[in-house]
Structure 1
Amino acid sequence: MTPKTPLLDTVQRPADMKHLSDRQLTQLANELRSETISAVSVTGGHLGAGLGVVELTVALHAVFDTPRDKIIWDVGHQCYPHKILTERRDRIRTLRMKGGLSGFTKRSESPYDPFGAAHSSTSISAALGFAVARDLGGVVPEGLGDAIAVIGDGSMSAGMAYEAMNNAGHLKKRLVVILNDNEMSIAPPTGAMSAYLSRLYAEEPFQDFKAAAKGAVSLLPEPFREGAKRAKDILKGMAVGGTLFEQLGFSYIGPIDGHDMDQLLPVLRTVKARATGPILIHVLTKKGKGYAPAETARDKGHATAKFNVVTGEQKKAPSNAPSYTRVFAETLLQEAAADDKICAVTAAMPDGTGLNLFAERYPSRCFDVGIAEQHGVTFSAALAAGGMKPFCTMYSTFLQRGYDQVVHDVAIQRLPVRFAIDRAGLVGADGATHAGAFDVAYLANLPGFVVMAAADEAELKHMVATAVAYDAGPIAFRFPRGEGNGVEMPERGEVLEIGKGRIISQGARVALLSFGTRLAEVEKAAEALRARGITPTVADARFAKPLDRDMILQLAEDHEALITIEEGAVGGFGSHVAQLLAEEGVFDTGLKYRSMVLPDIFIDQASPADMYAVAGMNAAEIESKVLNVLGVAQIGEARA
């Protein structure tokens, strides 16, 4: 049921908010919260983060002049209320759907999204860039005004945020950073920064300030009086812990109640009117605010499927197969029960990677390092050097952030870090920013690396066991998001022979060599080809590095055509096969070789099947590729 939103109905763009009173802005926030809940109940998506910043979103757009002023949302998953207020309400129920609105900020979607995001901790760097461009006379269609970064407490665990703050403090540009402190990123926040922020509002001076702020807003301009020593003393008296940010060159104010317009609006207006250098406003919010099912959820309603607005019950399609993530998690638990050297490392994604189960069973051997993939990789490297068997468990798209550490700290030192790479391939509604397209290409080119891809959930179990047993250097295995194929599962994983693939079915003329879970589509294509009188050989490579040289060269010798299929970008498995064939002179024999990889584009959100159709990698496209290579007409009967 669509909520009644009489005031929100009058707001198409932020300019429409300028004539509203503070009381009306509070009402607008309430209506915006209801509209956000209603929209996400239809589409699914990130709910809790957006609900936590509803009042902040209204206040920012009411005070600042967007799109001339640039609001940069860190990660961007909290931007649904922002999209509703910025000329996109009529499309808000297309969130994360094919042809619909992105679930994150996206430059090509709206001038109100000045900087796209989906990974964390980039907002302060981007805001500083806009501030410097403004002062250097940069020109964009909307103009360049103030730059405002909104960054969550979880994102402050990443070093990039501090690199940006250090630079901003040095440059002394007019810049606003809003620290959205909700004590809950995706998982409970981790580390010293989290403890530091917790102390800020536990200390009595902060409690006194919070109580006084509502009725004593006149105090707030004091910290901005240039050169006034008393202002600095007042600031430190109100906020003892704020000195960390001051040492980085920021004037600090807060913490303030991020759900109280009587605090938010005066603070933001004061900053807009009087700030001269970098300012950090510490805002306390509650993730999932205003919707009981989200507030009481373990992850505060971080990500949800479609749901019933009244009950909060999610509408998930039933499945008879376990998810790949669950298979990985349960297999790792099984292996860890027999080997006390196995430990697990994740970067703020224990639930998403299944390691919450490991943490419950073996808390002393599970480490959530926060949004700090670079640290997580090097930490894992030292664990390996210290005699442990670390499983560095990250989404493919997030592991990219730690690539230098993979090269320098793991590969060069040949340390046996086990990389469990979740969300391999195209991931659906999260779109291009979360697609695991590049890990095979960026790992398989490293000397001494072993790179595997599971064709199904049983193979994944074998690859976990293989990684446990492998101590000669780094080893990685990748698996996709979603449910498996429903194959029969072994009791225990078997240790695979390194660099050896398997023949699934023997045929003639053309060999289809799959790497990863496209194998199911390959087998569908093979069935369709058999109906045409063509019987292909189907093989599962299992390894992109080292390649199964004997199997590949035999396939090349026995068939007139060889086609590789993988869920990754050019430069991955197929490129390594081509290199092998070229070096062995196989192309001189007339072999027809083709490599099916993800196209050289970023594919927007849709269902995984639709995304793979765009990529040309579903069964029909594989069948068409075979017919084309063999020179068989695609209408009518195939040649015998």
Structure 2
Amino acid sequence: MTDFHPPSETQILDRVKLPSDLKSLSDRELNQLARELRAETISAVSVTGGHLGAGLGVVELTVALHAVFDTPRDKIIWDVGHQCYPHKILTGRRDRIRTLRMGGGLAGFTKRAESPYDPFGAGHSSTSISAALGFAMARELGGDPGDAVAVIGDGAMSAGMAYEALNNAGDLGKRLFVILNDNEMSIAPPVGAMSSYLTRLYTGGPFQELKSVAKGAVGLLPESMQEGARRAKEMLKGITVGGTLFEELGFSYIGPVDGHDLDQLLPLLRTVKARATGPVLIHTVTTKGKGYGPAETAADKGHATGKFDVVTGVQAKAKANAPSYTSIFAKALIDEASRDDRIVGITAAMPDGTGLKQFAERFPRRSFDVGIAEQHAVTFAAGLAAGGMKPFCAIYSTFLQRGYDQVVHDVAVQNLPVRFAIDRAGLVGQDGPTHAGAYDIAYLANLPGFVVMAAADEAELIHMVATAAAHDTGPIAFRFPRGEGVGVDLPERGEVLPIGKGRMIAEGRGVAILSFGTRLSEVMKAREALSARGIQPTVADARFAKPLDRDLILRLASEHEALITIEEGAVGGFGSHVAQLLADEGVFDHGLRFRSMVLPDRFVDHDAPFAMYDTSALNAPQIEAKVLEVMGVAQIEGARA
């Protein structure tokens, strides 16, 4: 692997303040701009960390789109937004690009509130074609003018939503551009029949012989390409692979073309923009991490990285602390599966992020990566459960939302024992509100028959994996956060917890705090600070949001003047269920003071996780203040002052 040597100057890039500045550049200068833009992207991410590989793969495509189309009048919609850093640099945000994903800085994804050049926000996959079609139809109906261009990666094409949009767009037949960015990799290597199909489209056909465009709509090609394309098309008659799928859906298909060759991209986009009357799909082939050796050779092609040395690519090493919750989950699941051959693991394109990669290495026949298809993942798991297996469906909280109808209809209504391992629960830091795991408590605990658990620490997570493995009478979920555990001693083997039973952590008097999830460590910090004031709250770990530990809650309510619940979730979750129980039992009639500490009723902007919880008033100082408030101490001290 060779060291990276960035250009010493950025003469062309320095002249670009907005995309309109690209109109005055020659094609030779645009090629130089792409080289400088790649170097600037690498330099910026080395300082901030973030999603590197996807952006490097679309540098030339970003330059070409902004050079040909008239943004922001024309709308470029980046699917997911992992690849949007070069776009941000060209659209007036270069001076802030080294604030990416930091508190108060640029978002790591496209964001409507951040720039008029971000016409549609994203953070989840496979939404771009639907949104672009919406823009196109708004234009037809007298709304915002201009073209709509969706840039969607190959991994995103594994989601059903992309095909729903293609089907609708082909039927409507309106002018629309879809760029399929085919890099053979989204986050993990792509899986499924669609990946195989796309591979067949370009395998064995060199771009320079125009076989790559031969099956496309010849009339939409630049004049210089048309004759060669006609000859190649004649030679390739009878071959079944090609753009057939997309053409049958009503699109003019052009490709594959080299997504790193501006000499192909620029004339092609200019001609298509001038001539297209209906929906067009342009299939580009790119390399994720292109132009930066450390990214190109990385297993994930530099998808997500911390801060790194720009010359060598070596990332700054984080201080070794407790193991991550994800790794603890993976180890616990492997341990359970080694004793029970009915346990299977399912993930939706996130084997590394969910820890199922380790499970797959140990049990390849019992591990399934279904691609970016959460709806299918949930119903697939339901079918496995109905067939007598013990499926663990490992999906981030924010992505499980995408399969909610299936959770309700295919799992809960049928009371099937699907185990949901919900990673990234709570606030997740630099990825911001699109990735926050804020809602799963509320959207699962309202379902009849569902068991919903939250681990207070990594030892509890091991117990909850064992509990889920043993639970065969209906659906069960357990949630845990991103990042490191708190450093507790780990059991050799998980124990099966009694369903719906919490645990006492510390006895006290006056006020009780009932914690659900990993805020427990902050609760104990607050308790220590309160002890200095002569206040010693009782602390309990609920473990279960459903079913609630009725006996524990009623005991806390009857033995204390005040009860405070705390959770890393939105309003409508654990605290709401506790309040419902207390109301049903008439406890409030006897004067109990009750407070529920939850995430604020707003989307929390990206920042370091601790800072996000600080602004959400869920750290130890805010817990301490809430206890003082509910006990009337704050008012008394204020009056004395």
Give TM-score, length-normalised by structure 1. 0.95
SS in 1 for 2:120: coil
For structure 2, the residue ranges without an aligned partner over 5 or more in a row are 1-5
Q: Distance in 2 between matches of 1:133 and 1:233?
A: 39
Equivalent in the alignment of 1:342: 343
- Note the C-alpha offset of 1:190: 0.7
Aligned to 1:85: 90
Aligned to 2:3: none
Q: Is the 8 A contact 1:532 1:637 kept in 2?
A: no
Aligned counterpart, 2:80: 75
Residue matched to 1:63: 68
Change (3 A) 1:219 1:66: closer
1:15 aligned to which of 1, 20, 28: 20
Of the candidates 15, 18, 30, which is equivalent to residue 35 of structure 2? Answer: 30
Cα distance in 2 between the residues matched to 1:371 and 1:547: 34
Give the secondary-structure state (helix, strand or coil) at the position aligned to 1:46.
Answer: coil
Pair 1:315-2:312 in alignment: no
Separation in 1, partners of 2:261, 2:239: 19
Moved more, 313-322 or 36-45: 313-322
Contact 1:532 1:638 survives alignment (8 Å):
no
- Decide whether aligned partners of structure 1 residues 428 and 205 sit closer, same or farther in structure 2, where only a CA change above 3 A counts: closer
Kindly state the Cα deviation for residue 240 of structure 1 after the two structures are TM-superposed: 3.8
Unaligned 5+ segments in structure 1 are none
Write the mapping of 1:522-537 to structure 2, written as runs, cut at 5 A.
522-537=523-538
1:390 is displaced (CA, Å) by 0.4
Aligned mates of 1:193, 1:223 — CA distance in 2: 31
Q: Could you tell me how far apart the structure 2 residues matched to 1:223 and 1:325 are? A: 54
Q: CA deviation at 1:511?
A: 0.2
Question: Is the CA contact 1:624–1:634 (under 8 Å) kept in the aligned structure 2?
Answer: no
Distance 1:193 1:340 in 2: 30
Separation (CA, whole Å) in 2 of partners of 1:186 and 1:208: 31
Match of 1:40 among 24, 41, 45: 45
Quick check: 1:288 aligned with 2:293? no
What does 1:160-559 align with in structure 2 at a 5 Å threshold? 160-204=161-205, 208-210=209-211, 220-221=221-222, 240-559=241-560
RMSD across aligned positions (CA): 2.3
Work out whether residues 213 and 256 of structure 2, in 8 Å CA contact, stay in contact via their aligned partners in 1: no
Give the equivalent residue in structure 2 for 1:583: 584
Counterpart residue type for residue 181 of structure 1: D
Report the residue type matching 2:116 in the other structure. Answer: P
Cα distance in structure 1, aligned partners of 2:30 and 2:624: 58
SS of residue matched to 1:303: coil
Deviation at 1:224, TM superposition (A): 13
Distance (whole Å) between structure 2 residues aligned to residue 75 and residue 204 of structure 1? 30
3-state SS, counterpart of residue 421 of structure 1: strand
**Is this contact kept in 2: 1:210–1:256, CA < 8 A?**
no
Residues 223 and 251 in structure 1, CA contact (< 8 A), matched pair in contact too: no
Question: Is contact 1:223–1:235 with CA below 8 Å preserved after alignment?
Answer: no
Distance in 2 separating the partners of 1:560 and 1:638: 22
**Distance in 2 between residues matched to 1:170 and 1:424, nearest whole Å:** 40
Q: Distance in 1 between matches of 2:634 and 2:445?
A: 37
The alignment of Structure 1 onto Structure 2 pairs a total of residues equal to 630
Deviations 1:441-500 (A, max 9, x none): 000000000000000000000000000000000000000000000011111111100000
State the partner residue of 2:9: 4
How many Å apart are 1:237 and its aligned residue?
7.2
Aligned match of 1:609: 610
Instruction: Return the match for 1:95 from 97, 100, 104.
Output: 100
Letter in 2 for 1:504: I
Q: 1-side partners of 2:100 and 2:477: how far apart?
A: 33
Question: Structure 1: how far apart are the matches of 2:168 and 2:139?
Answer: 16
Tell which deviates more after alignment, 2-11 or 69-78: 2-11
**1:564 partner letter:** T
- TM-aligned CA deviation for residue 220 of structure 1: 2.0
SS of equivalent to 2:24: coil
Deviation at 1:4, TM superposition (A): 2.5
Evaluate the alpha carbon distance shift between residue 366 and residue 275 of structure 1 in structure 2; reply closer, same or farther with a 3 A threshold: same
1:250 counterpart letter in structure 2: F
- The structural deviation recorded for 1:241 is 1.8
Q: 3-state SS of the aligned residue for 1:87?
A: helix
Q: Is the 8 A contact 1:414 1:448 kept in 2?
A: yes
CA separation in 1, counterparts of 2:163 and 2:368? 22
Report the Cα distance in structure 1 between the residues aligned to 2:533 and 2:161, rounded to whole angstroms.
Answer: 56
Q: Distance in 1 between matches of 2:532 and 2:367?
A: 51
Q: CA deviation at 1:320?
A: 2.0
| Deviation, structure 1 residue 9 | 0.5
Instruction: Give aligned-pair identity as a percent.
Output: 78
Letter in 2 for 1:119: H
How far did 1:235 drift?
9.5
Which segment is superposed worse, 395-404 or 313-322? 313-322
**What is the deviation of 1:620?**
0.5
Q: Deviations over 1:394-436 (max 9, x none)?
A: 0000000000000000000000000000000000000000000
Shift of 1:610: 0.7
Task: With the length of structure 2 as denominator, give the TM-score of the two structures.
Answer: 0.95
Letter in 1 for 2:369: D
- Taking a change above 3 Å as real, the CA distance of residues 632 and 188 of structure 1, as seen in their structure-2 partners, is same
C-alpha separation in 2, matches of 1:440 and 1:349: 21
Change (3 A) 1:224 1:69: farther
Which amino acid is 1:451 matched to? V
For 2:425 and 2:224, locate their aligned partners in 1 and report how far apart those are by CA, in whole Å. 49
